[in-house]
Structure 1
Amino acid sequence: MGILQRISSPADLKKLSGEELEQLAKEIRDFLVEKVSATGGHLGPNLGVVELSIAMHRVFTSPADAIIFDTSHQSYVHKILTGRMEGFDNLRQQGGLSGYTCRAESEHDWTESSHASAALSYADGLAKAFEIQGTPERNVIAVVGDGALTGGMCWEALNNIATSKERNVVIVVNDNGRSYSPTIGGFAENLADLRMKPFYDKVMEQGKSTLKSLGWMGERTFEALHAFKEGVRSTVFPTEMFPELGMKYVGPVNGHNLKAVEHALRYARDYEGPIIVHVVTEKGRGYAPAENDVAELMHSTGVINPKTGEPVGTKSPGWTSVFSKALVEAGKRRDDIVAITAAMAGPTGLTAFGEQFPKRFFDVGIAEQHAVTSAAGLALGGLHPVVAIYSTFLNRAFDQLLMDVALINQPVTIVLDRAGITGSDGASHNGVWDFSLASIIPGIQIAAPRDGEALVEQFNEALEITTGPTVVRFPKGNLPEVIEPLSVLEDGVEVLHYTDAADATEDTPNVLIVAVGPMATEVMAAVPTIEALGVGVTVIDPRWVAPVRASVLALADDHDLVIVVEDGVVHGGIGALIASAANAASIDTPMRNIAFPEVFPEHATREQLMDVFGMNAEGIAEQSTQWISELFGELATTED
């Protein structure tokens, strides 16, 4: 039996010898490659924190000492060490382990959200709570990495953490130089300088007097110097990384040398007050396909061949690739187009634009708030910025979009990838809130393309709008089949289907279905079942869902029931927007809405969640049938 099979809790780690720990690290890496290649997940980040995770659980006592992972996609090793190894067969799958920390899974998991740069604020609050409740000896360990320190919340938290000289907050900077791609910005450059010039060099330059002044003579001093001599980039000498804040600093530490990491963490554990431990790690460590993945080091993968790292199965063209090509073409036509990413150029489709137009491409780090307000500045300067982010991260930049862009009517286009239900990444990555958030902004125009052709058309239309901000949103995954409209109304609303009126009578109810964006595919599949009830069905795609187009209201007034189908949250979504506009126009047609409920769903595939919440073709037909029956009673159906 291997070492890994003997680990059921962090306490088991403390019984292992140095040789056994090294073997354990190897077994964990093999286990991660085997399991994540079968399910998909964040492979590269977790391969990089194996030794760090082992050391933290040997030095600290979880859960009494709170270990908080920023974004927590690098918590797989933590899960393994806290008794959840068996759950990896269903990682990120319905009913299986979450890909992030999850309070329902284990007492060792303190948080759940996978949004970056929040760990230090959690840590600040927890340390204050421990102090108030009379347990100030408890440590709070915040693991910050993968570019999270480029986010503004980290700096707001640091400003507060530094005010206490007694609260035990250990900030572990997991420095792999990456987020999805190489980390940028002044702080990243500072860390790079520290990597290139360890504190050992400063000690050698300053001489023996420095050692005396720091009070670190004797055995521990020579231990540290010997470690440097052996190539272990670690030190027990605290120095001021941020003199203005007074934060103590330990490092750089070789994050793959267990002795060095444990040594630094024990010092940090015993230190009274907040302290930074700078750990240098390699993303994708120990797995050649990840180490050779120059672009992302296998930050996140689908199902792969564990030997080669190659994706399993064929991959159809996706929404992101269509947008990426459209953006490059727009950049060729217009030299005022600029693009902004928040540390995810590849996942949001901006890499090609950045390569072709490097002077018009800006990666601002994991800082969506700054990205949007910086875009407003670019627009004020006469350019048309395109800010491409995941839908879920628009939540973080709402104030900036509202007050810094829309208030002054700046032409900024926000492109939201992974809109609607995303699935396996869980509750905090589902992009179901963007309609509800963005639609309340005065003057904003929101496009919801139903397929790849519509995406190109509506993105280019957005670039022509100069009166204020625009949003173009699309889901995760492969493109659906193109749906050609039957007709186009004056204001751009497209009619996708209408029932032949030859068999209709004056008493035949007519149902208007407003299919928002990619939900048109599911709606069209449900139409035959609904028509079989003996009702007339008209399906429209509003294309631009906000503000509500006049023809949508005119059609609503001309039908007996309106059903809005959208992949946003039901509260404050497009259905609510249309209902509000209809009410203002004194239209009393009954209106119903099929949308995402007000819940935080567990991780599952997009298809599974659509099925659970009745948002697939079958669910749309079933819910529509119920409403039609309630409003119109039993209708004569078509003969078999």
Structure 2
Amino acid sequence: MNITAGQLLSQIQNPADLKKLSKEQLHQVCEELRQYIIDVVSVHGGHFAASLGVVELTVALHYVFNTPYDQLVWDVGHQAYGHKILTGRREVFPTNRKYKGISGFPKRDESEYDTFGVGHSSTSISAALGMAMASHYKGEFDRQHIAVIGDGAMTAGMAFEALNHAGVANANVLIILNDNCMSIDPNVGALKEYLTDITTSPTYNKLRDDVWNLLGKLPVGKNFTRDMASKLEASLKGVVSKSSNLFESFGMRYFGPIDGHNITKLTDTLQDLKDIPGPKLLHIVTTKGKGYALAEKDQTTWHAPGLFDKITGEIFKKVPERPQPPKYQDVFGHTIIELAEKNDKILGITPAMPSGSSLKFMMEKMPERAFDVGICEQHAVTLSAGMATQGMRVFCNIYSSFFQRAFDQAVHDVCIQKLPVIFCLDRAGLVGEDGPTHHGVYDIAYMRGIPNVIISAPMNEEELRNLMYSAQLPDNNMPYVIRYPRGQGVMPEWRTPFKAIKPGTGRKLRDGKDIAILTLGHPGNFATEAIRELLADGLQPAHYDMRFVKPLDEAMLHEVFTNYDKVITIEDGTITGGFGSAILEFMARHQYKAELRMLGVPDKIIEHGKPEELFRECGYDAAGIARTVREMMKNKITVTA
């Protein structure tokens, strides 16, 4: 499908072209930009509602500020589609999130306009403040630094740490709070209530408009008068709303809230703020999914809907010919309810991912026992640890790449204290189109070195259920990691009876000759597929599903290295420090000699693409496994006519 940009948008190759337009033409630019995002995402996929909500802000920022000299940091990154289109990437935008195409998030080596890589959330204020302080040190006093923080990112502790520093740093930084009451799911917590209080108070909003109008009429040079007016505004706000001084208590000059979809107001306001030095915060109110009615109505579904018909709103779903296996996340979501119905000590925690993790099912059925804590991974882990001290069996569900943020808490608050928190690490392995900021490939390596922890990975849905069941049994008094991938499993009939699995016990799936394949987790299914192909070559590989990387099934490994002098390890994590490394350490410790090949994620950053494309690139898809076996067994392959 040939997608063309509108009359004005087609003339904009970079922000310099945008600046050639009159302010009156910006309305049309916004409409064309919004329509272009809808057109492309409906056909090619990607994140959707977040970028629609900041179209006017994106246009206003590039119209007012001198980017890229003025540094613009987006947070969270999936708000930045309009930014990419206006900064020289309109023609390649259809390759967004595709293999070898442009990234779905700002990326420093993709464009000089992408000042900071932001795939996760809540980093923008720290990054922009660091840029501002460095510019001040270098004497670049005319340089502006803008952090756009939205989609729930302000709930994270790191954002408040940065606010605390920014207020005393005297750096020229502008923080724009994009308040749309959403992350992927609706925002939660006291901050949401505070922002609602500010944005809905009619008395405060009238006062804000009056004071803002007064400030707008004052000459810029009369700083004393402007300061006095600002102090008057702050004092009156304290009378109107008991909570209105939150940001000012950090030393911020607070402005707003203003309508984030009023392009004229935005450009005028940003132009005024350019002349005010020091740290300041502009609060704008937007609608996630603005301009597409269905996305405005159901913002969670339309966060990243996949391909859809932009006219009817039908989201295209493939209709399978036969029953399909469920997503691993849904197996978790339904299984935790089954377990909780039998064990009243079970609780569920997730940091802002109730839909993505499928904890939403438990939140709906058992709202007193399942909690979304916002984008606060560190808090989620220590909260779980606190609950565990009181005898609770807590399933803390965090995406693998997000769990990295809570590494310190996992060490100090859980593992050192040997508290039986159950970490369900969703999206483990290569996740696909979200790319390197979301690949969950490091958790095995960084958790394996910590004492007092069990680390497991199920090969299928039945194994996931059994590991969840085993982790919550009374005789388990250890922190317990269960890692599983994004997407579908392999068992359409997945509701199997629960069976206990002893930590450190693997499964021999088939006997063989000459070579043994050791797998951890879902890639075991790739090995099963490869073995079917290898049998035609006359090869007979043995297959062991290890299930645990800590503790290892040492009895099984002694069997392997006693009987096989060629071994392959397969994992969907980084080879460096991962499952294969653990097997190699076992070999060295017991002085076994064997030819060992380790398949997994190599020691480099893996970019975005469909999962099967990335598995192939890393060499541990079925074809890659079969190829490695043939290389190791090249003298034993039976050649048939």
Deviations 1:361-417 (A, max 9, x none): 221111111110110000001101111111111111111111110111111111111
Per the TM alignment, residue 97 of structure 1 is displaced from its structure 2 partner at its CA by 1.8
Moved more, 371-380 or 517-526: 517-526
Per the TM alignment, residue 199 of structure 1 is displaced from its structure 2 partner at its CA by 7.3
3-state secondary structure, aligned to 1:450: coil
Pairing partner for 1:184 from 178, 181, 188:
188
Deviations 1:569-608 (A, max 9, x none): 0001011112212322333333221110011122111101
Tell me what 1:523 maps to: 527
1:489–1:551 CA contact under 8 A, matched in 2: no
For 2:462 and 2:506, the matched residues in 1 are separated by 15
Per the TM alignment, residue 638 of structure 1 is displaced from its structure 2 partner at its CA by 6.5
3-state secondary structure, aligned to 2:524: helix
Tell me what 1:555 maps to: 559
Pairing partner for 1:361 from 352, 370, 378:
370
Tell me what 2:392 maps to: 383
- Give the TM-score normalised by structure 1: 0.89
Deviations 1:405-455 (A, max 9, x none): 011111111111111011101111111111111211212112211111211
Matching residue's letter, 1:473: R
Tell me what 1:588 maps to: 593
Tell me what 2:158 maps to: 153
Against the structure 1 CA distance between its residues 199 and 532, is the aligned structure 2 distance closer, same or farther, given a 3 Å change threshold?
A: same
RMSD: 2.6
2:524–2:545 CA contact under 8 A, matched in 1: yes
Matching residue's letter, 2:352: A
Per the TM alignment, residue 204 of structure 1 is displaced from its structure 2 partner at its CA by 8.2
Tell me what 1:496 maps to: 509
Tell me what 2:225 maps to: none
Tell me what 1:427 maps to: 436
Tell me what 1:103 maps to: 108
For 1:198 and 1:253, the matched residues in 2 are separated by 13
1:556–1:589 CA contact under 8 A, matched in 2: no
Deviations 1:98-143 (A, max 9, x none): 1101222211011223121111111111011111111022011000
Pairing partner for 2:348 from 339, 350, 363:
339
Pairing partner for 2:285 from 272, 280, 288:
280
3-state secondary structure, aligned to 2:356: coil
Pairing partner for 1:602 from 596, 607, 628:
607
Q: Percent identity?
A: 37
Pairing partner for 1:350 from 359, 366, 371:
359
Against the structure 1 CA distance between its residues 341 and 220, is the aligned structure 2 distance closer, same or farther, given a 3 Å change threshold?
A: farther
Per the TM alignment, residue 547 of structure 1 is displaced from its structure 2 partner at its CA by 1.0
1:241–1:248 CA contact under 8 A, matched in 2: no
For 1:199 and 1:42, the matched residues in 2 are separated by 37
**Do structure 1's residue 473 and structure 2's residue 477 form an aligned pair?**
no
Deviations 1:30-63 (A, max 9, x none): 1111111122211000110000111111111100
3-state secondary structure, aligned to 1:263: helix
1:103–1:110 CA contact under 8 A, matched in 2: yes
Moved more, 23-32 or 144-153: 23-32
Tell me what 2:638 maps to: 637
Tell me what 1:458 maps to: 467
Per the TM alignment, residue 150 of structure 1 is displaced from its structure 2 partner at its CA by 0.9
3-state secondary structure, aligned to 1:172: strand
Segments of structure 1 that go 5 or more residues without pairing to the other structure are 222-235, 500-508
1:162–1:246 CA contact under 8 A, matched in 2: yes
Tell me what 1:195 maps to: 199
Per the TM alignment, residue 360 of structure 1 is displaced from its structure 2 partner at its CA by 1.2
**Do structure 1's residue 539 and structure 2's residue 543 form an aligned pair?**
yes
Against the structure 1 CA distance between its residues 319 and 259, is the aligned structure 2 distance closer, same or farther, given a 3 Å change threshold?
A: same
For 1:319 and 1:544, the matched residues in 2 are separated by 18
Tell me what 1:327 maps to: 336
1:452–1:482 CA contact under 8 A, matched in 2: no
For 2:637 and 2:331, the matched residues in 1 are separated by 45
Against the structure 1 CA distance between its residues 312 and 589, is the aligned structure 2 distance closer, same or farther, given a 3 Å change threshold?
A: same
- How many residue pairs get aligned? The number is 604
- Give the TM-score normalised by structure 2: 0.89
Tell me what 1:228 maps to: none
1:391–1:417 CA contact under 8 A, matched in 2: yes
Against the structure 1 CA distance between its residues 419 and 534, is the aligned structure 2 distance closer, same or farther, given a 3 Å change threshold?
A: same
3-state secondary structure, aligned to 1:113: coil
Against the structure 1 CA distance between its residues 336 and 195, is the aligned structure 2 distance closer, same or farther, given a 3 Å change threshold?
A: same
1:283–1:297 CA contact under 8 A, matched in 2: no
Matching residue's letter, 1:83: G
Pairing partner for 2:458 from 442, 449, 458:
449
Pairing partner for 2:168 from 160, 163, 169:
163
2:208–2:256 CA contact under 8 A, matched in 1: no
For 1:250 and 1:269, the matched residues in 2 are separated by 13
Tell me what 1:619 maps to: 624
2:516–2:543 CA contact under 8 A, matched in 1: yes
Against the structure 1 CA distance between its residues 482 and 301, is the aligned structure 2 distance closer, same or farther, given a 3 Å change threshold?
A: closer
3-state secondary structure, aligned to 1:123: helix
Matching residue's letter, 2:452: G
Pairing partner for 1:73 from 40, 64, 78:
78
**Do structure 1's residue 138 and structure 2's residue 143 form an aligned pair?**
yes
2:466–2:501 CA contact under 8 A, matched in 1: no
For 1:202 and 1:35, the matched residues in 2 are separated by 40
What does 1:192-341 correspond to in 2, within 5 Å? 192-197=196-201, 200-201=204-205, 203=207, 216=215, 218=217, 240-293=245-298, 296=300, 298-314=302-318, 316=324, 317-341=326-350
Per the TM alignment, residue 628 of structure 1 is displaced from its structure 2 partner at its CA by 3.6
2:248–2:254 CA contact under 8 A, matched in 1: no
Against the structure 1 CA distance between its residues 34 and 216, is the aligned structure 2 distance closer, same or farther, given a 3 Å change threshold?
A: closer
1:447–1:546 CA contact under 8 A, matched in 2: yes
3-state secondary structure, aligned to 1:305: coil
2:350–2:359 CA contact under 8 A, matched in 1: yes
Per the TM alignment, residue 481 of structure 1 is displaced from its structure 2 partner at its CA by 4.7
For 2:119 and 2:63, the matched residues in 1 are separated by 25
Per the TM alignment, residue 492 of structure 1 is displaced from its structure 2 partner at its CA by 3.8
For 1:368 and 1:637, the matched residues in 2 are separated by 53
Deviations 1:230-252 (A, max 9, x none): xxxxxx96775434322110000
